[in-house]
């Protein structure tokens, strides 16, 4: 990546992946700047963390903008105003609108707690993912980082890492181990984009 990476986060809940990425920026392990945090949930941990870190925090949702087109524009406008060039969906539970998707084509990344294309798509979020992985008798799972398109979890995967499943694992233990791995894998992958080792499919 030639330009400095300015990251805009969209997150709905806790924002622990976002926090791990912010921490990596602060330690310079990731040479990027977190410039804005947008959440659809005014009570989210993600917004509280952003305020704590002094990063501009915006609540934008169906409550603030009942019209989906207006919401899409407000999200796009916030990203542009803060000079974002890479968008990171870090536990964002909503779909992005067409204007944001087309303006940031190839530059919106999502992190998913499984080895896509397995265990992705509608309904595959949170504990449901790990329950499905264990129910399927898998011996390994992992973390995927993929480019976002208009569907759930179907854009090109740019990085994956594997996590071993122990016979004693239950969804909760697996969820904890996968999330722990996410916290290092996300900033590491972003840094590989900064150095140019990994290229985003920007048109
Ligand atoms: C993570 O498991 C991520 O893979 C998924 O949502 C979860 C977000 O967790 N997309 P957190 O908000 O970062 O703690």
Q: What's the gap in Å between 81 CA and the centre of ligand 1?
A: 26
Q: Which of 133, 116, 100, 109 is nearest to 7 (CA)?
A: 109
Q: Would you name the residues annotated as active-site residues? A: 112
pLDDT tens track for 82-137: 999 999 999 999 999 999 999 999 999 999 999 999 999 989 999 999 999 999 99
Per-residue pLDDT of the chain (203 residues; tens, 9 = 90+): 767 999 999 999 999 999 999 999 999 999 999 999 999 999 999 999 999 999 999 999 999 999 999 999 999 999 999 999 999 999 999 999 999 999 999 999 999 999 999 999 989 999 999 999 999 999 999 999 999 988 777 899 999 999 999 999 999 999 999 999 999 999 999 999 999 999 998 87
- Both tokens of 32, joined, read 């990027």
Alpha carbons within 13 angstroms on the beta-carbon side of residue 108 total: 26
Query: In this structure, what DSSP letter does residue 60 have?
Result: -
Q: What share of the chain is helix, strand, coil (3-state, %, to 5)?
A: 35, 20, 45
Q: How far is CA 138 from the centre of its chain?
A: 24
Q: Which atom of ligand 1 is nearest to the CA of 45?
A: 12
Judge if the beta carbon of residue 182 lies within 6 A of ligand 1: yes
Q: Which atom of ligand 1 is nearest to the CA of 143?
A: 4
Q: What is the pLDDT of the chain when averaged over all its residues?
A: 96
Q: What's the gap in Å between 158 CA and the centre of ligand 1?
A: 17
Q: What's the gap in Å between 185 CA and the centre of ligand 1?
A: 12
Judge if the beta carbon of residue 47 lies within 6 A of ligand 1: no
Judge if the beta carbon of residue 13 lies within 6 A of ligand 1: yes
């Amino acid at each position: 990546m030639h330009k400095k990476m300015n990251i805009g986060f969209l997150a709905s809940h806790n924002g622990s992946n976002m926090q791990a990425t912010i921490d990596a920026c602060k330690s310079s392990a990731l040479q990027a700047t977190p410039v804005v945090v947008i959440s659809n949930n005014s009570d989210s941990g993600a917004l509280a963390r952003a305020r704590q870190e002094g990063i501009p925090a915006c609540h934008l949702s169906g409550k603030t903008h009942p019209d989906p087109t207006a919401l899409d524009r407000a999200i796009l406008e916030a990203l542009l105003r803060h000079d974002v060039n890479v968008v990171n969906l870090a536990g964002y539970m909503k779909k992005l609108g067409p204007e944001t998707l087309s303006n940031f084509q190839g530059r919106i990344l999502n992190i998913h707690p499984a080895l896509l294309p397995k265990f992705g798509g509608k309904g595959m979020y949170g504990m449901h993912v790990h329950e499905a992985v264990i129910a399927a008798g898998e011996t390994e799972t992992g973390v995927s980082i993929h480019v976002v398109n208009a569907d759930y979890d179907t854009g090109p995967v740019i990085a994956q890492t594997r996590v071993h499943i122990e016979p004693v694992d239950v969804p909760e233990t697996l969820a904890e181990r996968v999330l722990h791995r996410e916290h290092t894998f996300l900033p590491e992958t972003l840094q590989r984009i900064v150095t140019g080792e990994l290229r985003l499919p920007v048109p």
